[in-house]
A and B are shown apart, each in its own frame.
Chain A
Amino acid sequence: MNTMTLDAAGQAEPVQPKAVEQDTVGTQTKVRETVGKPFCDSAKLRMRNVNVFYGEAQAIHDVSLDIGRNEVVAMIGPSGCGKSTFLRCLNRMNDTIEGCRVEGELSLDDEPIYGAKVDVVPLRARVGMVFQKPNPFPKSIYDNVAYGPKIHGIASRRAELDEIVENSLRRAGLWNEVKDRLDKPGTGLSGGQQQRLCIARAIAVSPEVILMDEPCSALDPIATARIEELIDELRENYTIAIVTHSMQQAARVSQRTAYFHLGHLVEVNDTETVFTNPQHELTEAYITGRFG
C-alpha cells in the first residue's frame, strides 16, 4: 500500500475532519485522514467516525462524511473498498447481515439513525434504496409500485393509489412504456425498465434520500444514460447517494465524489476537482487507471 501522508495544505477551504486514526503496520506509524471537503453546511445525512465490522474483520475505518440536501454524492473506489457497506449503513440494511456491527454517529436531519429507540421501518421509508441488480417483486407492474404506499398506509383509496403509481412511474420515466400493461408482471420488463421500475417503487413511498448501489452495472449504455438523466431530474426533490464503478458516471451525475480505499475514505471533493485535480495520490492513481 502507498504511504499516505497528511497533506491538506493548498486547498481552497481546508476542512479538517476530526477523525484521525493511528494505524500501526510493523514499526511504521501512519496517519490516515480524509482529504478535501467531507462536510457541508446543509447536511441531510451526517456520518461521524463510522466503523463497520463483519465479525472480527473491519470493513469501514473511521469514515466521516456529510451528504447535503438536493445533492448527489458519488462513491467510487476499487472493489471491496467498503463503499457499498457504507451506503447500506445509511438505511440500516446491514442489520440483515448476521455478525455485522456498526459504530459511530449517523444522523438523518439530526435525528440518530442507529440506537435502541430508533424504529428502522419509518427510517427505511425515508431513506429509499435502489439495488445493483433490478429486483422487481414477482407481481404486476402496478402492484410493484403500489407496494410501498400500501404497507405504509399512504393511500387508502384506489384513486389515490392510482395517482401515486402514475406519478411515480412518470417521474421514473417509465409511464409511457408501461401505461397499457400495468397488470403485466414486472419481471417481464427489460433490465433497464426493471431498474426504472425499482426507482419508481422507491419514489412511491416519497423518501427524502435515495441510496443507489451501482444501479446501472447490469444495464446497457442506453438504459444507463436514461437512468443517469433520471438521477439528475430526481436531484430537485431528493438527496441521492450513489455507489458506482464507472468514473464517467460519477463525473456525469454527482456534485461531490468520495473516493474509498480499503475501508478508508481517502478523499471527498467537488466532482470536478476530483477528476481534474485530485488532491490525494491514491485518488489520482485510481482515476488515472493505475489500479482499481
Chain B
Amino acid sequence: MQTPTLFALLLLLILVAYGTGFSRAVAAARTSGGLRKLASLPSYYGLHTALWCGLPALLLLGTWLAFDDAIIRALVMNGIADKPDTIAGQNLLYAQVQNLAAGHLFGEASPQVQAAAARFTELRNGSRNLQAALSLILAIGLGAFTVLRFSPQLRAREKVEKVLRGVLIACACAAIFTTVGILLSVLFESLRFFQAVPITEFLFGLHWSPQMALRADQVGSSGAFGAVPLFTGTLMVSAIAMFVAVPVGLMSAIYLAEYASKRVRTFAKPVIEILAGVPTVVYGFFAALTVAPFIRDLATSMGLQASSESALAAGLVMGIMIIPFVSSLSDDVINAVPQSLRDGALGLGSTKSETVRKVVIPAALPGIVGGVLLAVSRAIGETMIVVMAAGLAANLTTNPLESVTTVTVQIVTLLVGDQEFDSPKTLAAFALGLMLFLSTLVLNFIALHVVKKYREQYD
C-alpha cells in the first residue's frame, strides 16, 4: 500500500475512533442519568479514543519511514558481491540499482545490478506492506481496546490534557531544535574550513580574496581569507544605518507618542510602518539607482573622490529601512511610560520638552536601547541593499565614499552558482555565517535582557 493512502486510512480510523468514543460516552450518560455522572465531557472521551487509536500508529509509521531506506540499502548492498571501495562509488552503484528498479535506467545493466534491483523491489514492497499492516492493526487494536475499556469513571480529560501538554512542549522544542540544528550545521562546516585555513588568519587577516587554485602552478592562486575587511565593512554600513535610523526613528516616535494629536497618530503610524513592508530588493534598487549616483555626483561637485557604489549609499538606504523598527518599538515603549510620571513632571512646572527629555525618555531608555539593538542585528544581517549598493570590493577602509563589502554579501557571492562544497572558498561562507550568527545572537540576547529588565520596572 502506498504511504499517502495509508495516511488517509489512518485519518479515517481516527475520526471513527473519535465518533465511537463520543457516542459511547453520550450513551453512558443517558443510561446513568446525565452528563454529570461522567468523569469528563463526551468530547474528551472521543479525543481520548482518537489519540489512543492514532498516536501510536502514526509514531510507528514515522519511525518506520525514517529508518526503512537505510535498512533496505544495507540489505541490498550486502547482497552485492564485488562493490567499489569508495563511498562515492557505492553511492553511484546504489543510485543505479534504484533507477533500474524504478525503470529509469536506459542501456545495459550488469546482471549483478539487475539482481540487486530485483531484491530492492522485493524488499521495498515487503516493507511497505508490513508497515501498512502493522500500523493499521495497531490503530484498530488500540482504538477498539480503548472503546471496550470505557467506563464513566475514566478521567479522559486529564489524559487528553497530558497528551496536549506533550504536543505543546514538542512545538516549543521545534524552534529551539531548529536553532541548535542551524548552529550545528554551520559549526561543522566551519570546522572543516578552519582545518584548511587557520582560525587566527580568518579572524585577524587583513586581506580577503577567496580564491583557490585549480592547479598548483596557477598565477595569483593564493587565496586570502582574512575576514577583517568584511567585518569593518559590515560595521561601517551598519553604523551609517544606525546613524540615520536612531535619531530619525526616535524623534518620530517622540512626535507620535507625545505631540501628535489622535488623528495624526492614527494616520501617521501605519504610514511609517509601510516602510517596513517594502521588500529589501526594492530598497536595493533605490539605493543603487538613485542614492548612490546622487552621492557620487554630490561628492564630485565638492571635489571629493567617490565610487559609484559606496558604503554611504547602502548605509543611508538601510537606515531608512530600519526607521520603522526603531520608531515603532520606541513608540510602544514611550507609550508604556506611565502618565503619572508626565503629570508629576508637568505638575512641577516642566515644559513639554523638559518632560520628554528629562523624564519620559530616561524612563523609556532601557526599552529604547533594546529596540535599537534589535535594529542593529537587523542591519548587520541585511544583505540585498548592500549587494546592490555597496559593491563587492573588500576594501579595508574608513572612507564611507569608497565601496566596501559586508559579511552577508560575501556569503551570497561565495555560494551563488555551481560550487564545490569541499573547497575552502565555499566553506569560508559557513565560517562567516557562524561569526554573523554568533554576533547577532549576542546582540539579541542583550536586547531581550534589557527589554525584560525594563518591563520589570513598571509591572
Bound CA–CA A89/B379 (angstroms): 48
Q: How many A-B residue pairs have CB under 8 A?
A: 67
Contact of B341 among A124, A128, A137 (CB under 8 A): A137
Q: Which residues of A contact B342 (CB under 8 A)?
A: 96
Interchain CB contact under 8 A, B350 and A151: yes
Bound CA–CA A151/B347 (angstroms): 12
Please tell me if A121 contacts chain B, counting CB pairs below 8 Å. yes
Chain A's interface size range is: 20 to 34
Please tell me if A201 contacts chain B, counting CB pairs below 8 Å. yes
Question: Whose C-beta in chain A lies nearest to the C-beta of B354?
Answer: A151
Please tell me if A125 contacts chain B, counting CB pairs below 8 Å. yes
Q: Which residues of A contact B348 (CB under 8 A)?
A: 124-125, 128-129, 147-148, 151, 201-202, 205
Question: Whose C-beta in chain A lies nearest to the C-beta of B338?
Answer: A135
- Of the candidate stretches B3-11, B135-143, B205-213, B356-364, the one touching chain A is B356-364
Interface size on B, residues (CB 8 A): 21
Interchain CB contact under 8 A, B343 and A131: yes
Contact of A138 among B343, B346, B351, B362 (CB under 8 A): B362
Question: Whose C-beta in chain A lies nearest to the C-beta of B363?
Answer: A138
Most chain A Cβ neighbours within 10 Å, of B341, B344, B347, B363 = B347
Bound CA–CA A123/B348 (angstroms): 9
Bound CA–CA A125/B351 (angstroms): 11
Bound CA–CA A164/B358 (angstroms): 20
Interchain CB contact under 8 A, A131 and B349: no
Please tell me if A139 contacts chain B, counting CB pairs below 8 Å. yes
Please tell me if A152 contacts chain B, counting CB pairs below 8 Å. yes
- Shortest A46–chain B CB gap in Å is 21
CB contacts under 8 Å to A, within B341-389, are: 341-351, 354, 358-359, 362-363
Bound CA–CA A125/B349 (angstroms): 5
Interchain CB contact under 8 A, B347 and A128: yes
Interchain CB contact under 8 A, B340 and A93: no
Interchain CB contact under 8 A, A93 and B457: no
Interchain CB contact under 8 A, A124 and B338: no
Bound CA–CA A286/B338 (angstroms): 33
Q: Which residues of A contact B104 (CB under 8 A)?
A: none
Question: Whose C-beta in chain B lies nearest to the C-beta of A132?
Answer: B340
Interchain CB contact under 8 A, A124 and B349: yes
Q: Which residues of B contact A151 (CB under 8 A)?
A: 348-350, 354, 358
Please tell me if B36 contacts chain A, counting CB pairs below 8 Å. no
- Shortest B458–chain A CB gap in Å is 9
Interchain CB contact under 8 A, B340 and A121: no
Please tell me if A187 contacts chain B, counting CB pairs below 8 Å. yes
Bound CA–CA A211/B344 (angstroms): 12
Interchain CB contact under 8 A, B347 and A129: yes
- Mark each residue of chain B from 320 to 350: 1 if its CB lies under 8 Å from any CB of chain A, else 0: 0000000000000000001011111111111
CB contacts under 8 Å to B, within A195-245, are: 198, 201-202, 205
In the complex with contacts A98-B262, A137-B344, A205-B349 CB distance below 8 A: yes
Interchain CB contact under 8 A, B344 and A148: no
Interchain CB contact under 8 A, B358 and A147: yes
Question: Whose C-beta in chain B lies nearest to the C-beta of A185?
Answer: B457
- Mark each residue of chain A from 108 to 143: 1 if its CB lies under 8 Å from any CB of chain B, else 0: 000000000000011111001101010111110000
Bound CA–CA A48/B341 (angstroms): 31
Most chain B Cβ neighbours within 10 Å, of A135, A136, A139, A198 = A135
Interchain CB contact under 8 A, B343 and A121: no
Question: Whose C-beta in chain A lies nearest to the C-beta of B340?
Answer: A135
Bound CA–CA A122/B261 (angstroms): 25
Interchain CB contact under 8 A, A93 and B347: yes
Bound CA–CA A128/B347 (angstroms): 6
- Shortest A14–chain B CB gap in Å is 36
Q: Which residues of B contact A138 (CB under 8 A)?
A: 341, 362-363, 457
Bound CA–CA A285/B203 (angstroms): 82
Interchain CB contact under 8 A, A137 and B347: no
Q: Which residues of A contact B344 (CB under 8 A)?
A: 131, 135-137, 198, 201
Interchain CB contact under 8 A, B262 and A121: no
Q: Which residues of B contact A147 (CB under 8 A)?
A: 345, 348, 358-359
Please tell me if A91 contacts chain B, counting CB pairs below 8 Å. yes
- Shortest B263–chain A CB gap in Å is 11
Bound CA–CA A198/B345 (angstroms): 11
Contact of A139 among B340, B346, B350, B362 (CB under 8 A): B362
* 23 pairs from A and B in contact (CB 8 Å cutoff): A91-B347, A93-B343, A93-B347, A121-B350, A122-B349, A124-B348, A125-B349, A128-B347, A128-B348, A131-B340, A137-B341, A137-B344, A137-B345, A138-B457, A147-B345, A147-B348, A147-B358, A148-B349, A152-B349, A187-B457, A201-B344, A201-B348, A202-B347
The 10 closest A-B pairs by CB, nearest first: A125-B349, A129-B347, A135-B340, A124-B349, A135-B344, A148-B348, A138-B363, A121-B349, A151-B354, A137-B359
Given A138-B341, A147-B358, A151-B358, 8 extra CB contacts under 8 A: A93-B346, A125-B349, A129-B348, A135-B341, A147-B359, A151-B348, A151-B354, A205-B349
> Residues of B at under 8 Å CB distance from A?
261-262, 338, 340-351, 354, 358-359, 362-363, 457
